[in-house]
Amino acid sequence: MMTTFSLRALKLRSGESYRDEREIALEPITLGGQRYLPVPGKVGADFTVTRASTGTVFELRFTVRLHGPCYRCTGDAVVERTISAREYQAASPGEAEELQTPYVVDRRLDLSAWARDALVLELPDKILCRADCAGLCPECGLDLNVRPHEHDDVEPDPRWAALAQLRDRL
């Protein structure tokens, strides 16, 4: 489900603004092959359209929580972000892509796509259950947050012995 706003009915003169609160539907987001769910699926957003002498400025502000797996331990992780986004659409953009917003098509503003993209840009590189998450043990796969441990040095596979001898000579 997508939330859009029709710009056809707005008759703003330069310097005038239209302000409203909108419910925006947010789709789940896939990052690094993992799925993150916005909770709730619809968020209340402050939405403003301001007419400037050369075009239109769109502003969007909302707070959202994403639920999904931790990057390190695959446990539950929650990220909350307050998003503040701004887009500009020139009255006569010509060929200049930077003077157009990709979210306006046929005088309709795609609020869902804009909100999703603004949210993704505000997310951390790695979504963690907590800042000091220890992750999973590379040897046995146990969660190191629940059961911290170390493994004794295991005797190397004898098939690698020739390479070990070569390494020792270098």
In the chain, beta strands by DSSP E: 4-6, 17-25, 29-31, 34-39, 42-51, 55-69, 76-90, 104-105, 108-110
Residue 42 has pLDDT above 90, yes or no: yes
Question: Which tens digit of pLDDT belongs to each residue from 74-122?
Answer: 999 999 999 999 999 888 777 777 788 999 988 899 999 999 999 999 9
Average pLDDT over residues 43-61: 94
Q: What is the pLDDT of residue 98?
A: 75
| pLDDT above 90: residue 49 | yes
Residue 58 CA to residue 107 CA, distance in Å, equals 13
136-170 as b/e: b if 16+ CB within 10 A: beeeeeebbbeeeeeeeeeeeeeeeeeeeeeeeee
> For residue range 60-86, what is the model confidence (pLDDT) as tens digits?
999 999 999 999 999 999 999 999 999
Rg over CA atoms, the chain: 25
> Rounded to two decimals, what is the model's pTM?
0.80
Q: Which of 122, 132, 150 is nearest to 73 (CA)?
A: 132
Phi-psi bin for 43: left (phi > 0), alpha (psi -120 to 50), beta? beta
